[in-house]
Amino acid sequence: MSTTAGPSAPAGADERLLRTSPLRRLLGRPELGSVVGAAAVFIFFSIVADSFLRASSLGTVLYAASTIGIMAAPVALLMIGGEFDLSAGVLVTSSALISSMFSYQMTANVWVGVFVSLLVTLAIGAFNGFMLTRTKLPSFIITLGTFLMLTGLNLGFTKLISGTVSTKAIGDMEGFDSARKVFASQWTIGGVEFKVTILWWAVLVAIATWILLRTRFGNWIFAVGGEADAARAVGVPVIRTKIGLYLGVAFAAWVSGQHLLFSFDVVQSGEGVGNELIYIIAAVIGGCLITGGYGSAIGSAVGAFIFGMTSKGIVYAEWNPDWFKFFLGAMLLLATLLNAWVRKRAEATK
């Protein structure tokens, strides 16, 4: 890590200055294992499922991947920073509920609700970060608390305000159409429909990658994830970094939440539970270490893509649906194992 400034070795022998071949460098990338895994999953379903290779199927698989990937990118960054967020799944639902209910109750232009939702969602993210850095409790406990509180608030508030457990339809309100264009539109390219979430996903992954590899904040993320105390000792603002990471997750939750709202018009308050694990799984398949300090944003995208291919590939293959969950679990496990194996081989060749 560039932040651990030890006594400098003689310039010629410094391993950091050694020239490495492009192949070596490629093998050292954290997402390499997952790319190989993704290729394996892709080839597998291309063989067993006739309709998997059709162009229209690509749009469907990418959509499934993008709804996970949008969240997996900031979750991956958070994991590299050494923390978890178990509230990420329900936060998406909270975000959708807030903008829907605010617009409806205030009879406001839908965009006002969208903006309020952004503020509140970021505030919840900040709450996670503040609590974590203040109390020094593990993020597992903090965000588990937030997860439960949000689940209760989602239900309680929705029922209190709209009288039922789902929100009222806001499809006839002003601003809905333009908001739908931003968060839930789709394009047809060559007869294949692509959802706008794919674009959001690509942009978020690109931004996350840029932050991670090209900015000072990116170095801080690796540093606090690797060894927080050492990072603090060399002047990394640990608290600000961690809060920033939670804000990132909150922002992505807002994007996903708005997609949920504007593509389905009505939001069910009980949704989202369990999705936080899927985001974490996508990040782990993508090469993030659960212990922090290692991983990449592109890897999380590949992880989300593997998840999208697996869950939809099973449908395309028309397998007996009784075994759905089993296949899903087995595929994920295999992909992760392959990923770990490739990484070990890659590190051995160094």
Subset of 61-100 contacting another protein (CB under 8 A): 61, 63-64, 67
Report in angstroms how near the CB of residue 225 gets to another protein at its nearest: 23
Q: Which residue lies nearer to another protein by CB, 14 or 50?
A: 50
**Member of 269, 296, 300, 310 binding another protein (CB under 8 A):** 269
The answer to whether residue 263 forms part of the interface with another protein (CB under 8 A) is: yes
Residue type, 346: A
φ and ψ at 195, to 5 degrees? Answer: -85, 150
Contact 198/63 with Cβ under 8 angstroms? yes
Report in angstroms how near the CB of residue 105 gets to another protein at its nearest: 5
What is the Cα–Cα distance from 40 to 338, expressed in whole angstroms?
Answer: 9
**Member of 270, 291, 340, 347 binding another protein (CB under 8 A):** 270
Q: Which residue lies nearer to another protein by CB, 34 or 275?
A: 275
What is the Cα–Cα distance from 338 to 38, expressed in whole angstroms?
Answer: 10
The answer to whether residue 181 forms part of the interface with another protein (CB under 8 A) is: no
The answer to whether residue 144 forms part of the interface with another protein (CB under 8 A) is: no
What is the Cα–Cα distance from 186 to 154, expressed in whole angstroms?
Answer: 29
For another protein, the binding residues in 182-241 under the rule CB under 8 A are 186, 193, 197
**Member of 173, 196, 238, 302 binding another protein (CB under 8 A):** 173
Tokens of 224: 């606090």
Tokens of 139: 């993020």
Give the total of residues touching another protein (CB under 8 A): 72
For residue 317, CA distances in Å to 53, 131, 148, 310, 331 come to 11, 46, 37, 10, 14
| 53 contacts: CB under 8 Å, gap ≥ 6 | 46
Tokens of 97: 């509920």
Q: Which residue lies nearer to another protein by CB, 143 or 158?
A: 158
Per-residue HEC secondary structure of 65-82 comes to HHHHHHHHHHHHHHHHCC
**Member of 116, 182, 207, 230 binding another protein (CB under 8 A):** 116
Contact 278/12 with Cβ under 8 angstroms? no
How far is CA 195 from its chain centroid? 17
The answer to whether residue 51 forms part of the interface with another protein (CB under 8 A) is: yes
The answer to whether residue 329 forms part of the interface with another protein (CB under 8 A) is: no
Residue owning tokens 């050492």: 230
* Closest by Cα among 217, 199, 209 to 65: 199
**Member of 40, 144, 273, 334 binding another protein (CB under 8 A):** 273
Report in angstroms how near the CB of residue 254 gets to another protein at its nearest: 14
Q: Which stretch binds another protein (CB under 8 A): 21-29, 215-223, 227-235, 268-276?
A: 268-276
**Member of 142, 312, 339, 346 binding another protein (CB under 8 A):** 312
The answer to whether residue 60 forms part of the interface with another protein (CB under 8 A) is: yes
Q: Which stretch binds another protein (CB under 8 A): 5-13, 137-145, 307-315, 342-350?
A: 307-315
